[in-house]
Amino acid sequence: MVRRHELTDESWAVIGPLLAPSRMGRPVRDRRQVVNGILWKLSTGAAWRDLPERYGPWKTVYERLPPLVRRRHLGTAPGPRPAAFRCRRRRGLDDRVRRFHDRAGPPARGRGPKRGQSWPGEAIGRSRGGLTTKIHLACDGRGRPLAFTVTAGNVNDCTQFEQVMARIRIERCGPGRPRTRPERVVADKGYSSTKIRTYLRRRGIKAAIPERIDQINGRIRRGESLCRLDRAAYRRRNVVERCFNRLKHNKALATRYDKRARHYQAMVTIACLRLWLP
């Protein structure tokens, strides 16, 4: 019997080949059991020590989380993608870019004399909302994640744009290299910069990014024409907002409890994989 939050046989047939192969040494626990334990933790947000016994020792599941997603991150890092995820969209590929602030809970902040201190190496930084972690994510026109990066909450959005775009890889139905350039990028004013617009123009990607008021006033003073904005395309920017809303249904992501960035990033990867499952 498949319990709530667990993978069905159809979903496991898709996600199983994506997981990193086992290394040489002692035989590992059933990988599907471990993944189901991770999904239970992802959905409930409970402490690792509260993991039900049916998923095995909690420490085994905790330590197996980063190695499971070490290689093929399904669109979140360069690498092959299975045929089941190819050409899932018939129309042209549109790209929505957005960031999401995730408040770091007490377990992620640490203890001792340095409690409350920013830890950029672990993707925890002090922003307006306190100690937070920021997810920079790009999704397609149907709200399915394509690539993401995880940074501290005080990192500017523009600095991660090219890194997110560089991680997009869409396998084609037939022969040929994976597709890495969407037809259009839709983003908010936080991504309105000369560097980003030049990057998109050089790669032949249309941009639907509104200009900030200071940029508009500067163009008017210099007598330059304003950037054209495809308002019909920009109105569909809420697709990425709905994608984040679906990710926030996982309580382990809505509030970060993992102290280590690699564990939290692995959790985000599993949550993104879940949105692609049938």
Q: Minimal CA–CA distance to 257: which of 65, 90, 81?
A: 65
Q: Minimal CA–CA distance to 14: which of 85, 86, 88, 90?
A: 85
pLDDT value at position 126? 83
Query: What dotted CATH number matches 83-276?
Result: 3.30.420.10
pLDDT value at position 161? 92
Give the C-alpha separation, 42 to 249, whole Å: 9
Q: Minimal CA–CA distance to 61: which of 276, 272, 258, 278?
A: 258
Domain ranges of the chain: 9-68, 83-276
pLDDT value at position 88? 47
pLDDT digits (tens, 9 = 90+) for 118-134: 566 788 888 877 888 88
pLDDT value at position 97? 57
pLDDT value at position 199? 93
pLDDT value at position 260? 87
Q: Minimal CA–CA distance to 197: which of 183, 212, 181, 208?
A: 208
Residues of the chain with pLDDT under 50: 71-85, 87-93, 111-113
